[in-house]
């Protein structure tokens, strides 16, 4: 696990130990009680769901009690909570387990998924909270925290987004998945909230992408209403003696006819941060800059290399002295970067 990911897991877990709400379903590893709480809390706020959870536990303390319960009684208890299908599925599952599985919950994510009314999230929650299986839970809170901290702009409602977030979430899950999974959800519910997240007193702040670039409101992306597009530019700044290489942009794209560096466009922030594998001596990597256009948000990183063989340079690139670069028409982003770079080098 890299440093940024490690930091994330450690800080979130430490935060949780100090700040989490004491909720009854957190004091148990009984899969029945965990399942009950998860079903009740689907599309329901904790404050509203809590009395229902207590009523159900009181009336049906075990899976067997629920399986043998009278339908009408169960629906009456459910009254006011809405989404009655949940109650129906809950009863069906309880009876199925009672009749076919000796009243026990299966103890793995894959098996839990086969039960009625249990989707990926609920299966992961039971597998992790009851059996400590290292499987990631992925709910709205988790999407939000991951998108903001790691700077992921993929639409969370798209299949691509689900795949990307699931892979990332899974890569973070430590052995003690129970505590960590509770922690990330609680963190999303209390700290990194949809509106007005508490960034000022956030233990993730120093590494948080959204905080650094003030992107809290735009993350996570849910089928963007505006046609905003995110792009990730890795610029290779080639050096040869006192010269650098630039090229004119001919493509039908932004900045047509202006000059920029050797460009590699990446798919996401993670790829952008990796030093490109090219035949040159690596000199320097800049931080990441954000550049806002009307319909595009561009994240840019500059990588400086000393060229080994001029022949390796891609076509269109030409060498310029620092003085001659001044006269080229450039996007403001490039002009500003060159200016900062030059000032730094003159000072250095
Ligand atoms: S700094 Fe703000 S946006 Fe980032 S994780 Fe913390 S609360 Fe969320």
Per-residue confidence (pLDDT) for residue 332, from 0 to 100: 85
Q: What is the dihedral of CA 9, 14, 16, 19, to 10 degrees?
A: -150
pLDDT in tens, 98-111: 998 888 999 999 99
* pLDDT tens figures, 270-314: 999 999 988 889 999 999 999 988 788 999 999 999 998 776 677
> Which of 181-185, 306-310, 339-343 has the largest mean confidence?
181-185
d(CA 12, CA 189): 13
Region of residue 292 (phi > 0: left; psi between -120 and 50: alpha; otherwise: beta) = beta
Ligand 1 mean position, distance from CA 197 (Å): 6
pLDDT at 330 over 90: no
Separation CA 325–CA 319 (nearest Å): 9
Q: Are 286 and 301 in contact (CB under 8 A)?
A: yes
Bridge partners, residue 298, by sequence: 231, 291
- 283 dihedral zone (left: phi>0; alpha: psi -120 to 50; beta): alpha
Q: Is the CB of 148 under 6 A from ligand 1?
A: yes
Q: Is the Cβ atom of 214 under 6 angstroms away from ligand 1?
A: no
pLDDT at position 266 is: 95
Cβ-contact 214, 174 below 8 angstroms = no
The response to whether residue 278 sits with its C-beta less than 6 Å from ligand 1 reads no
Q: Please state, in angstroms and rounded to a whole number, the distance separating the CA atoms of residues 132 and 116.
A: 22
Q: Is the pLDDT of residue 146 over 90?
A: yes
Q: So what's the pLDDT on residue 300?
A: 97
For residue 138, report the distance from its CA to the centre of ligand 1, in Å: 18
Whether residue 224 has pLDDT greater than 60: no
Which among 196, 198, 206 is the best mutation to test ligand 1's pocket, defined by most ligand atoms within 8 Å of the CB? Answer: 198
What would the pLDDT profile of 243-264 be if each residue is shown by its tens digit? 999 999 888 788 887 899 999 9
Which of 231, 234, 233 is CA-nearest to residue 296? 231
> Given this model, what pLDDT does residue 226 score?
56
CA pseudo-torsion sign 63, 67, 70, 76:
positive
What is the distance in A from the centroid of ligand 1 to the CA of 332?
Answer: 30
Segment 155-170 shows an average pLDDT of: 94
CA–CA separation, 49 and 54 (whole Å): 9
C-alpha–C-alpha distance, residues 109 and 133, integer Å: 8
Please tell me which residue in 38, 133, 186, 215 is annotated as part of the active site.
38
CA distance 90 to 65: 13
Residues near 345 by beta carbon (within 8 Å), at least 6 away in sequence: none
Residue 199 above 70 pLDDT? yes
Least confidently predicted of 183-197, 231-245, 308-322: 308-322
End-to-end Cα separation, the chain, in angstroms: 35
**pLDDT for the residue 329:** 85
User: Does the C-beta of 208 come closer than 6 Å to ligand 1?
Assistant: yes
* Spatial separation of the C-alpha atoms in residues 331 and 141, rounded to whole Å: 38
* Across 75-89, average pLDDT: 80
- Of the pLDDT bands very low, low, confident and very high (cuts 50, 70, 90), residue 348 is low
Q: How much is the pLDDT for 346?
A: 62
Residues 6+ apart with CB under 8 A from 196: none
**Whether 38 is catalytic:** yes
Atom of ligand 1 nearest to the CA of 205: 1
C-beta neighbour count of 146 within 10 angstroms: 25
Q: Compute, in angstroms, the gap from residue 144 CA to the centroid of ligand 1.
A: 9
Domains and CATH numbers, the chain: 3-139+173-194 (1.10.340.30), 229-347 (3.90.79.10)
Q: What percent of the chain has pLDDT over 90?
A: 70
Helices (H) then strands (E): counts for the chain: 15, 7
- Alpha helices of 132-225 — where are they, by DSSP H? 140-150, 159-172, 177-190, 209-213
State how far the Cα of 282 lies from the Cα of 244, in Å rounded to an integer.
Answer: 14
Confidence of residue 61 (pLDDT cuts 50, 70, 90): very high
Instruction: For residue 64, name the pLDDT band (cuts at 50, 70, 90).
Output: very high
Q: What is the dihedral of CA 16, 18, 21, 22, to 10 degrees?
A: 110
Q: Output the residue whose Cα is nearest ligand 1's atom 8.
A: 192
Closest to 169 (Cα-Cα) out of 154, 188, 184, 187: 184
State the average pLDDT over residues 124-145.
96
Task: State the Cα angle at 58 between 52 and 59, rounded to 5°.
Answer: 90
| Stated pTM of the model | 0.70
Cα of 41 to ligand 1 centre, how many Å?
A: 24
Q: What pLDDT band is residue 342 in, cutting at 50, 70 and 90?
A: confident
**Predicted local confidence at residue 150, as pLDDT:** 97
- Distance of alpha carbon 39 from its chain centroid, rounded? 24
Signed CA dihedral, 238, 244, 245, 248: sign only: positive
Chain center to CA of 231: 17
């Amino acid at each position: 696990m890299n440093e940024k990911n490690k930091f994330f897991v450690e800080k979130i877990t430490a935060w949780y130990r100090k700040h989490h709400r004491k909720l009854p379903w957190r004091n148990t590893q009984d899969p029945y009680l965990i399942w009950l709480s998860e079903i009740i809390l689907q599309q329901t706020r904790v404050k509203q769901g809590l009395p229902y959870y207590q009523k159900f536990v009181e009336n049906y303390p075990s899976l067997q009690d629920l399986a043998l319960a009278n339908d009408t009684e169960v629906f009456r208890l459910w009254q006011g909570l809405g989404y009655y299908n949940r109650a129906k599925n809950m009863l069906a599952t309880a009876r199925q387990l009672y009749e076919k599985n000796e009243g026990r919950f299966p103890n793995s994510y894959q098996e839990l998924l086969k039960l009625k009314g249990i989707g990926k999230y609920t299966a992961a929650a039971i597998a992790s909270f009851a059996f400590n299986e290292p499987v990631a839970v992925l709910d709205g809170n988790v999407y939000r925290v991951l998108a903001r901290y790691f700077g992921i702009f993929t639409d969370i409602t798209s299949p691509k987004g689900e795949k990307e977030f699931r892979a990332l979430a899974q890569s973070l899950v430590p052995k003690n998945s129970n505590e960590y999974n509770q922690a990330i959800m609680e963190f999303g519910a209390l700290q990194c909230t949809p509106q007005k997240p508490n960034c000022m007193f956030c233990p993730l702040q120093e590494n948080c992408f959204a905080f650094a670039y003030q992107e809290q409101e735009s993350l996570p992306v849910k089928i963007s209403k505006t046609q905003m597009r995110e792009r990730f530019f890795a610029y290779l700044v080639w050096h040869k003696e006192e010269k650098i290489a630039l090229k004119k942009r001919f493509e039908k794209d932004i900045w047509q006819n202006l000059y920029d560096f050797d460009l590699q466009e990446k798919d996401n922030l993670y790829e952008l941060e990796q030093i490109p594998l090219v035949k040159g001596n690596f000199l320097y990597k800049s931080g990441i800059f954000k550049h806002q256009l009307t319909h595009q948000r561009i994240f840019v990183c500059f990588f400086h290399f000393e060229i080994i063989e001029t022949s390796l340079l891609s076509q269109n690139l030409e060498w310029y002295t620092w003085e001659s670069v001044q006269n080229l028409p450039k996007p403001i982003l490039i002009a500003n970067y060159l200016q900062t770079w030059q000032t730094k080098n003159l000072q250095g």
